[in-house]
Structure 1
Amino acid sequence: MSRKARFILVVLALVAVFGYRQYRDHARDAAASGAPDTKPTPAPPAEPRMLGSIAFTPCTLPSQLGAPGVEAQCGSLPVAENPALPQGRKITLNIAWIPADEDGEKAPDPVFLLAGGPGQSATGSYPAVAAAFKDVLKQRGVVLVDQRGTGKSNPLQCPDLAEGEPSLDEAAAEQSMLAAVGRCREALSKRADLRFYTTSDAVRDLDAVRQAIGADTINLLGISYGTRVAQQYARAYPRHTRTLVLDSVAPNDLFLGNDFARNLESALDLQFARCGKIPACASALGDPRGQLDALMARLEAEPPLVTYRDASTGRSTQERLLPAHIAGLARMYAYSPMVSSILPLLIHEGAQGRYDGLMALSKMLGSQLSDQMAYGMQLSVICSEDADGLQDDPAMASSLLGNSLVAGLVAQCAAWPKGKRPADFHAPLASDVPALLLSGELDPVTPPAYAARVVKTLPKGRSLVLRGQAHNVIGAGCMPKLFAQFLETADAKTLDAKCLDKLAYTPPFTSFNGWGP
């Protein structure tokens, strides 16, 4: 189970690869036919477009699942890796800018998107939420800064850690994991000082970009871990923070990892309870929670050898189904109501001894996640900011995740360099900045109670809970319009949020034919 510690607040993302093929006539053929040479003349490079002192050129941000990419302007800004050594090694921050629409009046304060993880990049995350910015872009541009250690900003990736799998021999798996941590640390240390890839370093970078583009104030949209970055920026640079939008809120006083097991249990109970309220689901599938507990006990006692079809190769293969496979699958699927709606059916299948679907989906999930997270950056953040506050929760010892995720992080952080954490880092943000806090009712990692805690010290803040939603809710229902209205008025309390009442629950699958009528 400890090998699953690498999947911390991961959001699924698939990068599409685009290519093209050039065609041209051969000069010999053209000469023989008397036709003019049709060899294309290379287009001159695009003139840079300036935003403040940063030069941008056209680029495309790849989207998920092969969908069209997002057209943007791309640029960069070098910053000192170690702030105490301004003439020392530099990090080149990768930046994308989506300008405001040509028509209409332009506002001087852009929106900065802060990605989750920790370990995801802003440029990689934006296409998945781009639709939520449609109305925002009528007045404001959007700026995406790949946080140092992610994306194309000197990424700190650990392939050996990302490729690990659960094992029957937990002691051997733990040793293998720690060996992989050591190899990654040594490899990355050749080009990065791992102490300087923390949230506080990222906050300083954000303000360097703000100054470079010539914006006096900015609006921050943080998603998941990005809400931590947003709160830390607002504390460090209150004069330059116009508004905060915190989607799936992580309180400053949270030590990332401590509540994961408890929050997942609560979210699964809520999600599975939907089946009991739908007669067709209750009749077809029974009690998902009880079946999950029984399945985990059975796998713990005697993991079955499962024959399944590998999605990446199409070949039939065999492997033992372990409790960690189920825990990882349930945890990641719980992030999205659309995906988690199949969990009761999959668990019911497992309870009947049909394990192939669970194994195939677990393996496919692992392959999708392995390249999407800069795990070295994640360790630099958590080990510097949270490791000393991580502790086992005896009440969660028998839960789906147990305490092995926390134990795994503690072990890894013992071998990872640590940066400095400001003395007030974990203190609540107390500010009069206009703030809109968003939570999904069924969120398995940042429940609505977190936002309720944070908004207490934000007198101009308002917390909205979106019915039937889970993690990352900025694009749900009418939320994009409310988002744009808030940025226009900088007043969360006057928003008419009744349109969110129309959000519906996603019904659970009762068969593999899809949702029932």
Structure 2
Amino acid sequence: MTSTRARVAALLGAVAVVAGTTLATPAVGLAATADQARPGGGIAGQAPCPNAPEFTCGTLTVPLDHSGATPGSLDLAVAVAGNTAAPKGDLLFLTGGPGQPGVPLMKRIAGKLEPVLKDYRLVMYDQRGTGAHALQCPGLQEDMGSSDLAVPRGQSIADCAAALGPAARFYSTADTVADIDLLRRALGDQRLTLDGVSYGTFVAERYALAHPSHVARLVLDSVVPQQGDDPLDLAALPATARVLRAACQATGCGTDPAADLATVVRRYGDGAQILDALTSYEFTDPNYGGVPEVLHEAAAGQPAKLQAFVEAAHQGDAAPAEALSQGLHAATLCADSHFPWGTTDTPVEGRAAALERTRQRLTAEQTWPYDPATATGLGSQLVCLDWPREPVPPTPPAHRKLPNVPVLLLGGDRDLSTPNEWLYQQAELTHDPQIVIVPGAAHSVQNRAANPAGRQAVYDFLLK
């Protein structure tokens, strides 16, 4: 058995994977000139993708404002596999974030989906504000990297909002959904099969709700429910106990990491930072090797290794905007989400007081093994606390079900980013869902799980 010291050293050294991104693959795609493309037209500039000539790259030009009230357009990079005679049509793979591009990951995802690509033509694209055209907010990028939960500096948030200006409101999920329908038309499809991961599941669900007749089937991997994520993270907070105990049982750690975590949060008050670190670390080791030991030491009054773990996880989250744009992440979440103070159309004055009232109402049972201050202190919420007031898109009716098409809901039992509680919430709004939970897997099952059961479930589902 590896010593505790060695395991902790390996733990801290391993936290260098950027969640859900592949940084080594260069962005590909060809920019269209003004006379080649028009908003809502076809895919311009089609040619073999640089560094991946087996795929065709081009550009889809879409309106900045789909209502037409504000002028301007955006160029979105698109990559298409070479199977033009696919009997089951086009499979659009949607990446996560929000803020992650698609085209740079085309080769990797094609490799994961290879068994179905005789029947489907794989399509990926860079959602607005990502990839080569990523929204740039340097301070926010430095503070958060690829994290959803890291707490940024107030000045970074203010600088980002000022840099994006009024156009920030054109980067909601509703805008992305409208872009996808223009992409569908440009591809010549009546219906699309959508495979979404993490935030990509939310985009797929919202597309299916907006355009039910244009969806053939849905793969939802690491599910964000169609109502959106909860900025208070009241599913992930208690899920931490379940996940850590399952990992501990798998590795024989000999302690109760959930009880130790509760003691640590009560003693040191650093719940938001610990949840951020644990959520990042699931991408490195779904068994959370070494984590129970550092929690146990911290609970006994020796927090140095836990503090080092948290710092290492934060450093490992570093990522450029081209890999995951925190500017786009903020613009989208602030446009989409419902907070304790309402939406971003709520006046800024009074938001902080509403958040504090929420903290006072939260119970220990709702947040254990964390505390109420953890729920109201996460970066995913604080980014939008002082975000300038702006109009937000309408939300679909809360209890409208997805269209009656085949749906696969896929999750890992070690996932803290999108805990399985969210998957089952979405299942309630799905006709006859197929549910697959992969033991030992964390976030992004198709892309990352060592256990092949999830990928096989996707192959079987798509080839029916």
TM-score by length of 1: 0.68
CA distance in 2, matches of 1:53, 1:348: 56
Q: Deviations over 1:360-417 (max 9, x none)?
A: 5234324348774322222222222214456646123871671234587256354235
CA contact (8 A) 2:140 2:327 kept: no
SS at match of 1:239: helix
**Candidates 404, 407, 411, aligned match of 2:376:** 404
Rate the CA distance shift 1:365–1:465 in 2: closer, same or farther, 3 A: same
CA contact (8 A) 1:99 1:140 kept: no
CA distance in 2, matches of 1:149, 1:407: 20
Tell me, yes or no, if structure 1 residue 91 matches structure 2 residue 74: yes
Rate the CA distance shift 1:201–1:486 in 2: closer, same or farther, 3 A: same
Question: What's the % identity of the aligned pairs?
Answer: 26
User: How far has the Cα of 1:221 moved from its partner?
Assistant: 0.6
User: How far has the Cα of 1:253 moved from its partner?
Assistant: 2.5
> Residue in 1 aligned with 2:131?
151
Q: Deviations over 1:56-95 (max 9, x none)?
A: 222257xxxxxxx795321101111012328921100111
Alignment of 1:38-187 (within 5 A): 54-60=44-50, 72-85=55-68, 88-100=71-83, 106-107=86-87, 109-126=89-106, 129-152=109-132, 154-164=133-143, 177-187=153-163
438-447 or 454-463, which deviates more: 454-463
Alignment of 1:265-344 (within 5 A): 265-276=238-249, 279=252, 281-282=253-254, 286-300=255-269, 325-334=273-282, 337-338=285-286, 340-344=288-292
User: How far has the Cα of 1:346 moved from its partner?
Assistant: 3.9
- Please, which runs of 5 or more residues in structure 1 have no aligned partner? 1-9, 20-50, 62-68, 166-172, 301-321, 490-517
- Please, which runs of 5 or more residues in structure 2 have no aligned partner? 1-17, 28-40, 145-149, 342-354
> Residue in 2 aligned with 1:432?
404
Q: Deviations over 1:255-278 (max 9, x none)?
A: 4313x2541432343323442565
383-392 or 441-450, which deviates more: 383-392
> Residue in 2 aligned with 1:464?
436
SS at match of 1:442: coil
Question: Aligned pairs, how many?
Answer: 403
> Residue in 1 aligned with 2:196?
222
CA distance in 2, matches of 1:204, 1:194: 16
SS at match of 1:367: coil
206-215 or 114-123, which deviates more: 114-123
Cα RMSD for the two superposed structures: 3.5
Tell me, yes or no, if structure 1 residue 367 matches structure 2 residue 318: yes
User: How far has the Cα of 1:460 moved from its partner?
Assistant: 4.3
> Residue in 1 aligned with 2:425?
453
> Residue in 1 aligned with 2:186?
212
Q: Between Structure 1 and Structure 2, whose CA radius of gyration is higher? A: 1
CA distance in 2, matches of 1:440, 1:397: 21
> Residue in 2 aligned with 1:481?
456
TM-score by length of 2: 0.75
CA distance in 2, matches of 1:369, 1:92: 20
CA distance in 2, matches of 1:431, 1:137: 25
Rate the CA distance shift 1:368–1:227 in 2: closer, same or farther, 3 A: same
CA contact (8 A) 2:190 2:214 kept: yes
> Residue in 2 aligned with 1:13?
21
> Residue in 2 aligned with 1:499?
none
User: How far has the Cα of 1:54 moved from its partner?
Assistant: 4.1
**Candidates 329, 334, 340, aligned match of 1:383:** 334
CA distance in 1, matches of 2:287, 2:138: 26
CA distance in 2, matches of 1:255, 1:132: 27
CA distance in 1, matches of 2:57, 2:459: 24
CA distance in 2, matches of 1:488, 1:334: 30
> Residue in 2 aligned with 1:513?
none
Rate the CA distance shift 1:217–1:353 in 2: closer, same or farther, 3 A: closer
Rate the CA distance shift 1:58–1:349 in 2: closer, same or farther, 3 A: farther
CA contact (8 A) 1:428 1:454 kept: no
CA distance in 2, matches of 1:135, 1:347: 42
